[in-house]
Amino acid sequence: MLQRQRVEQRQASQIALTRAENCVIVHHNSTTKHAPLTRNTMVWENDTTQVPLDDGTNVCNLGGTTAVVRGGKATNIATVQRADMKRFVEITNANSSKN
């Protein structure tokens, strides 16, 4: 049971790292602070207009959690493991500097 959980966490971490390569970093527009991503969280382009992101958009937060937008909501949550957090930050920082 524990071994299976570790394998699932490792797989989720790899998924999160892959998504990080082209994710939209989400944060609270009013505070610019880390926004938690949980299943069915509404994800908008900005808090003022509340226009949802397109289906299929990868989103991530600074805590290492990623999701895929479906119907304006975060779905398919995957979080990096602590051991992969440094790589996640490197990837998201590289993407931020491109924009």
pLDDT tens digits in sequence order for the chain, 99 residues long: 788 899 999 999 999 999 999 999 887 666 566 677 889 988 887 767 778 889 999 999 889 999 999 999 999 999 999 999 999 999 998 877 665
Q: Choose among 25, 19, 35: nearest CA to 80.
A: 19
Question: What amino acid is encoded at 99 in this protein?
Answer: N
Task: Look at the chain and report how many structural domains it folds into.
Answer: 1
Model pTM?
0.85
Amino acid identity at 30: S
Residue 92 makes CB contacts below 8 A (sequence gap 6+) with: 20, 23, 25, 60, 62
List the domain range (segments joined by +) for residue 30.
2-98
Cα distances (angstroms) measured from residue 27 to each of 3, 7, 49, 54, 83: 34, 29, 15, 17, 23
Q: Is 23 in contact with 96 (CB distance < 8 Å)?
A: no
